[in-house]
């Protein structure tokens, strides 16, 4: 039945595929765990990922080979046409890092991941695809200051739902979840003077802080493209006003477009 369902889904638009998956099959994914061991990517079948069957978005990659279709296609196109260095902030298990490397042999990645729970799987996928010399994993949080941050590991079900936490009163989403201390760094300190083809940010509400911490690179126009999201619920908990990231980018002369999104979340692409 499940295999028949997948064959039928291939004839439907990506948005419909994802909707049906999240509505009917997300909680049954652990029955098909084999698909999560070495899932090929749709845009780059030469790359495979070990994924978590507990994570709904990992399920999209495992079953359909793709996540965030519009963003994936744009980043993969830039990687193939111009290439260079990707700074993948909130790298999770390495989906965008692998796509970037697949598009062009000389491409390289700085994969920034703050969650201790994701570091092991991220390294695994780097090694699985023999990319140790092209993907450098940074185990810290990208943010607006050089200081340690309190980081919530978030839900044990969704791998990407952890994030910088303030206090339980400000960030109720993280209340009750295990918290750890992680090093926090500004990107314009760590990557000062370097040319970045794409900065991809997915930090569960704190994307604006990552962009603020890139101001030294932005003023010098050292970042060609920026992909990020506004998670309206999470950034409200962190006290970040709607549109903060966009205003910062506009102040540095960047243009932007909205790529759509899900309820309470919008994805954006900005360029110099």
Digit-coded pLDDT (tens) for 224-263: 999 999 999 899 989 999 999 999 999 999 999 999 987 7
Q: How far apart are CA 32 and CA 36, in angstroms?
A: 8
Alpha-helix runs per DSSP H in the chain: 2-9, 14-20, 56-64, 69-81, 95-103, 116-128, 187-190, 207-212, 215-219, 232-237, 244-251
HSE of 157, CA atoms in CB hemisphere, 13 A = 5
Q: How far apart are CA 127 and CA 133, in angstroms?
A: 10
Q: How far apart are CA 14 and CA 10, in angstroms?
A: 8
Sign of the C-alpha dihedral, residues 217, 221, 224, 230?
positive
Distances (CA, A) of 37 to 59, 61, 69, 137, 246: 11, 11, 22, 21, 38
3-class state of residue 193 by DSSP: coil
Burial class (CB in 10 A: 0-12, 13-18, 19+), 244: middle
- On the question of pLDDT at 153 being above 90, the answer is no
68 Cβ contact list (under 8 Å, min separation 6): 267
The residue extents of the domains of the chain are 2-64, 69-271
> Whole-number mean pLDDT of the chain?
89
The tokens describing 240, both together, are 């970040």
Q: How far apart are CA 73 and CA 83, in angstroms?
A: 14
- On the question of pLDDT at 169 being above 60, the answer is no
Give 139's pLDDT tier (boundaries 50, 70, 90): very high
Across 54-68, 193-207, 230-244, which has the greatest mean pLDDT?
193-207
pLDDT at site 168:
47
**pTM (predicted TM-score):** 0.90
Please give the CATH architecture assigned to the domain spanning 69-271.
3-Layer(aba) Sandwich (3.40)
pLDDT at site 53:
86
**By mean pLDDT, which of 37-46, 62-71, 191-200 is the weakest?**
62-71
């Amino acid at each position: 039945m499940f295999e028949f369902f997948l064959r039928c889904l291939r004839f439907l638009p990506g948005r419909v595929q994802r909707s049906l998956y999240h509505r009917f099959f997300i909680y049954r994914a652990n029955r098909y765990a084999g698909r999560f061991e070495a899932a090929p990517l749709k845009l780059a079948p030469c790359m495979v990922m070990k994924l978590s069957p507990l994570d709904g978005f990992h399920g999209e990659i495992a079953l359909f080979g793709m996540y965030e279709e519009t963003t994936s296609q744009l980043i993969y196109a830039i990687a193939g046409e111009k290439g260079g260095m990707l700074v993948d902030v909130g790298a999770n298990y390495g989906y965008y890092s692998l796509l970037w490397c697949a598009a062009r042999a000389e491409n390289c990645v700085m994969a920034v991941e703050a969650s201790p729970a994701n570091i092991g799987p991220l390294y695994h996928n780097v090694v699985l695809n023999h990319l140790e010399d092209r993907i450098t994993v940074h185990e810290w949080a990208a943010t607006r200051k050089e200081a340690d941050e309190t980081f919530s590991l978030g839900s044990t079900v969704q791998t990407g739902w952890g994030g910088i936490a303030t206090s339980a009163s400000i960030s109720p989403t993280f209340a009750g979840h295990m918290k750890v201390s992680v090093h926090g760094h500004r990107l314009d300190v760590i990557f000062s003077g370097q040319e970045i083809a794409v900065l991809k940010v997915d930090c569960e509400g704190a994307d604006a802080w990552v962009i603020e911490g890139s101001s030294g690179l932005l003023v010098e126009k050292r970042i060609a493209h920026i992909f990020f999201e506004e998670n309206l619920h999470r950034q409200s908990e962190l006290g970040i006003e709607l549109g903060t990231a966009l205003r910062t980018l506009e102040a540095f002369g960047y243009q932007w477009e909205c790529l759509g999104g899900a309820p309470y979340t919008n994805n954006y692409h900005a360029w110099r």
